[in-house]
Amino acid sequence: MFPMTQDLPDDLFRQGAEEGPEEARGEPERSHVPERSSVKTVPLGQDGISLRMLAGILVLAVLLAFAVGRLFFFRGNQDPMVTVSPAPLPTATASAPPSTEGVPYSDAVVVANVVAAEGQCLEGGTRDTPAMLIDDDSGTLWRCHGEGVGEQVTFTFSGRRPLVGVRVVNGNTAWSDRYLMERRVLSIRWEFDDGSFFVQGLAANNRNPQEVRFPPLSATGVTMTVLDATAPGDGEANADAVSLSSVEFLTPA
């Protein structure tokens, strides 16, 4: 009796038997190890620093130097600080003496000689003519009927005379008890033939000479114009009249 044996399938061994020649087999896979020729070697510097690192350090140094330079450049271009110094105090200097031009004359004076005084009353004349203003007689006067406003008298000198003032006695002082009854002059305009003029105000209740001074001028004639007068007092009808008792022109002594 023959022993029983277990046959193994042919498939189990078929692969080895069917393998072809050795050259038909695939080449064994190579490991992925880079070849020595593909690896780049980086040379080192003399101090052991790579050239790439050295180049980076140089670039950083250049950038730093550029930044520092710009910083100092912009600071240098800033506007400089302005320092304001106080203005010097003015020093006192000697000045010229004040001018006397336009200042009324104040030295000694005398009465100028007037050769003529002429004028016509607007509302009818009287025997008291303008010539009585310059006759140096306290008992005479110049007198016109009416309110007196606009009445004029022109005075003439013998030649051109320096004048510095005028003196007037207001109202009727020649007749007793007539000063307050008649009109008194309140203001007069004096106009000189050189074109200058001024207005003199008079006190209504002052029987004394009323004087005014002015800066020196030169003239051959003067015109007096009455600008205002008081109302007449109570009394006679012929008291409605304006009067001056005396006029004097002043010249330097």
CATH number of the domain located at residue range(s) 109-252 in this protein:
2.60.120.260
Residues 6+ apart with CB under 8 A from 225: 150, 151, 152, 188, 189, 191
**Hey, how many other C-beta atoms are within 10 angstroms of the C-beta on 56?**
11
Q: Which two tokens stand for residue 245?
A: 């008792």
CA 188 to CA 152: how far, in whole Å? 10
Torsion of CA 39, 42, 43, 45, to 10 degrees: -160
Map out the domains of the chain as residue ranges. Answer: 109-252
Q: Going residue by residue through the chain (253 aa), what tens digit of pLDDT does each one get? A: 444 434 434 444 444 444 444 443 444 444 444 444 444 554 544 555 677 777 778 778 778 777 666 665 555 555 545 454 555 554 545 555 555 678 999 999 999 999 999 999 998 777 899 999 999 999 999 999 999 999 999 999 999 999 999 999 999 999 988 999 999 999 999 999 999 999 999 999 999 999 999 999 999 999 999 999 999 987 777 889 999 999 999 999 9
Q: CB under 8 Å, gap of 24 or more: what pairs does 196-199 form? A: 199/227
The per-residue pLDDT for 21 is 42
* C-alpha of 217 from chain center: 36
The per-residue pLDDT for 202 is 98
Q: Which two tokens stand for residue 97?
A: 């003496």
Residue position matching structure tokens 């087999």: 25
Are the CB atoms for 210 and 173 separated by under 8 Å? no
Report, in this order, helix, strand and coil percent for the chain, each rounded to 5: 20, 30, 50
Which amino acid, one-letter code, is at 119? G
Residue position matching structure tokens 């600008």: 227
The per-residue pLDDT for 71 is 62
The per-residue pLDDT for 10 is 46
The per-residue pLDDT for 85 is 52
- The span from the first CA to the last CA of the chain, in angstroms, equals 200
The HSE-up count of residue 90 (CA atoms within 13 Å, CB side) is 3
The per-residue pLDDT for 251 is 98
Question: What is the Cα gyration radius of the chain?
Answer: 67
Are the CB atoms for 180 and 204 separated by under 8 Å? no
CA 92 to CA 218: how far, in whole Å? 39
In terms of Cβ atoms closer than 10 Å to its own Cβ (0-12, 13-18, 19+), residue 243 is buried
Residues 6+ apart with CB under 8 A from 189: 197, 198, 199, 200, 224, 225, 227
The per-residue pLDDT for 57 is 81
DSSP type of residue 105: P
